[in-house]
Amino acid sequence: MPHDDAHASATPESALLARLPAALAAALRAPAYAAHLAGIDPAAVTDRAALARLPVLRKGEMPARQREALPFGGFVPGVAGGFPRLFTSPGPIFEPQRSGEDPWGGAPALAAAGFRPGEVVLNTFGYHLTPGGFIFDTAARALGCAVIPAGPGNTEQQLDLIEAYRPAGYVGTPDFLKVLLDSGQKAGRDVSSLVKALVSGAAFPPSLQAEFRERGIAAAQAYATADVGFIAYETPGEPGLRVGDGVILEIVRPGTGDPVPEGEVGEIVVTVLDLDRPLIRYALGDLTAALPGGRIRGWMGRADQAAKVKGMFVRPEQVAEIARRHPDLGRLRLVVTRADEADAMTLRAESASAEAALAEAVSETLRTVTKLRGTVELVAPGSLPNDGKVIADERPVG
């Protein structure tokens, strides 16, 4: 049935948590998940605290895990032939399409962006091998829209399609929407039917948002990934992004699975409660912060901040281990620079104490954990930026 609620509400928290045990039981039918979640009793995982005790599975590990057991690495409780479509995304990561009318949960995002049943939608996300085009295609059709499966590129042909079919809505990257509008204006083509857009997949700076408004297009943005689908999306008149239906979203300290307080920048971890393709505490490597009312600030950068120092990788997990060993410290930031034509590390640590003995103890821990020498600088609590960055590589490029 088409969705026509412009402000479709997210699934209540209690209803999501009630579905957790079944999703966990489904995951345990996949051999790699059974090993990853060994000893877990699905029936006991019924709240966020219990969920937070489960191990994180990192998206960055998935290409290697899948190569060990193609195609899905043993993390899917079913065979490839049991899914309607099969995709690959950069990595490569192999992904099946879930079943259902709106398998990636995008119809509410389109409705919130002002799309309505009976409208024509120009879909410029790619349909070749990757799921992007299908993610937005199925969402628009579930809403009751007709879809032009245009894909990216072929600008002149797309202008022909716009003049012929008069689509009201556009889905794709904000960059390509600007290309279409500029090309249409330069060639004297009529693209005035486009009055709304849902964009994703690229930065959408305020300057470009303002330009679209001046050109008569109401453009909203969504945060979606190939493996999860729609994670969060804009709703009119509300700050940040609303977390999508069927997704339990946590924000954790980079390199750990530990949830951070509301407002603190951290890494996005999602649990998808789909029984055909469950994802349990799946760390995406993207940064955000929580807002009141179950919303997030949107994409704020990447959490994968590994840096090679003197030929050895230093990772956020190692900074998190230093924090674990010194619980009285606040935020930590490992700054990598060059000094005397050599790599140098400085660990800046928020601390109420400025005692030299503490700095020396933390320095010893830094050396033990990373196998590298570095200096420790104790700074005032609250003085480090709240941006989720735990490793800052400030060495000059080139």
Which residues, 6+ apart, have CB-to-CB distance to 124 below 8 Å? 150, 151, 152, 158, 170, 171, 172, 173, 176, 177, 180
DSSP reduced 3-state for 138: helix
What single DSSP character describes residue 302? B
> Which strands make up the sheet holding 375-379, listed edge to edge?
375-379, 342-350, 332-339, 391-393
Task: Round to whole Å and give the CA distance between 261 and 279.
Answer: 23
Give 311 or 21, the one with higher predicted confidence.
21
Is residue 210 scored above 90 in pLDDT?
yes
Is residue 40 scored above 50 in pLDDT?
yes
Check residue 341 and give its pLDDT.
Answer: 66
Is residue 78 scored above 70 in pLDDT?
yes
Q: Percent of the chain at pLDDT above 90?
A: 77
Which among 398, 367, 362 is positioned nearest to 377, based on CA atoms? Answer: 362
Is residue 7 scored above 80 in pLDDT?
no
Pairing of strands 229-233, 218-225: antiparallel
Tell me what the mean pLDDT of segment 375-393 comes to.
Answer: 92
pTM: 0.81
Supply the Cα-derived Rg of the chain in whole angstroms: 23
pLDDT tens-place string over residues 115-149:
999 999 999 999 999 999 999 999 999 999 999 99
Confidence grade of residue 11 (pLDDT, cut at 50, 70, 90): low
**What CATH code is assigned to 307-393?**
3.30.300.30
- What are the structure tokens assigned to 36, written together? 């990853």
DSSP reduced 3-state for 363: helix
Tell me what the mean pLDDT of segment 349-354 comes to.
Answer: 94
Tell me what the mean pLDDT of segment 238-260 comes to.
Answer: 92
Is residue 86 scored above 80 in pLDDT?
yes
Is residue 8 scored above 70 in pLDDT?
no
Which residues, 6+ apart, have CB-to-CB distance to 3 below 8 Å? 107, 108, 111, 142, 143, 144
For helices 174-187 and 155-165, angle between their N-to-C axes, nearest 10 degrees = 80
Buried b or exposed e, range 48-59, using 16+ CB within 10 angstroms:
eeebbebebbbb
pLDDT tens-place string over residues 311-328:
777 888 899 899 999 999
DSSP reduced 3-state for 20: helix
Mean pLDDT over each residue of the chain, to the nearest integer:
92
Check residue 2 and give its pLDDT.
Answer: 40
